[in-house]
Structure 1
Amino acid sequence: MDCVKIILFIFLICGLRAELEVPAGSCVSKIVNGKLVQVGDCKKDDGSDIVRLIKKSLDEKKKAEIKCDVTYETKCFRAVVYGTNNVTFNDGISICKSMNGKPANIYDLAHYQSLRTYLRSLISASSTHIAIWTGMEYKTNQLLLASGGPTSIATEVWYPGYPQSKASWTNVGVDVNKDPEFSSQGMFNEKPFSSRQGIICEI
């Protein structure tokens, strides 16, 4: 029995030694139980390793916390919707910033359709539709991305009677009805201080 214990002890020591060995000139740094553990040729003692590892750990945690409602061409979109019209466009900017995002663009017809399908699932049982802000603008009779660049989205996505040509109606939203075939739904332009039920953010 003592022989078995000795053999196990030798394997344990060899395993620990192998784990600690790193190629010459290398430094391996890890955070173990909240402490910086370094193995190898680690000459830096200025705290930069611990700062780098903490930043990496926080970045990984932040990425893990982001949940996308819709993903389109590697871009992440999240919708924030309330039961009443209480979100101006400026409120929407703050909401998106709180999620490390910005008011979203709608890039093309396929993207519009996928967002519309998702938004339809957010309509409450007591309501028939929702209307929320995007990050897009309508200026000089042209639908623009938040960056100011043009978009190729089809004109049939507009709500009936829109876009309006009023100069102050610069911000663009989306109205979605529970019934996918209902004719009165689509994108609209409106004054930025008008209130809508939420916003779609690009994270």
Structure 2
Amino acid sequence: MPASAPQGESDIMGIDETVSKLNDWLLNGELKRRVLLVWGMGGIGKTTLIRRICNSIMSTFVYSAWSLCHHPLAKWAYFNMFLDNLVQQEVRRGAQLKLLDCLNNHVYGKRFLVVCDDVKEENMWDFINFALSEDRNRSRIIMATRDKCITKMVNVQCYIYPIEPMQERVPFDLFARRNFQKDLEEVVQKTLRNW
């Protein structure tokens, strides 16, 4: 992933099984382009999960790009970011449709991985689908969103992965591992129960 992909800790609790399952779904199976939609409330770990997935599978793709698609940017700015990451040429001048067509022509026939993180616009999929069309080359698109409506806008077969809050014990284990020596865990547990 380019420098725009968020960087984080390599030691993350509670998601190894999920990463393995989603990696398998993304890497195996049919030749057609696959779309993974990761959906969940803000701060629940969508970006962290996707980062872990991408770090383990990125080397199997010719091109990869990560774009943070939060609100202030216009749709065309997203594709300029993709183009910067994928094409790395001065081809962005001209009409907006020409931009999308240029991106499609550049990646067509090559295996790509594109991540659209924090998607908030319901029609974003239409632009992605046009610019990164199906070419039966095992390309993958991963989208993360807080908005369940966006998961309904993708009009191709996709895998929607809803992220649920962690089980009660996992957040405490994470907190204790980061903040306390191992021998203090029992004292902290007792204090929290009494609080």
| TM-score where L is the length of structure 1 | 0.24
Greater C-alpha Rg? 1
Greater helix proportion = 2
Please identify which structure carries the higher strand content: 1
TM-score with structure 2 length normalisation? 0.24
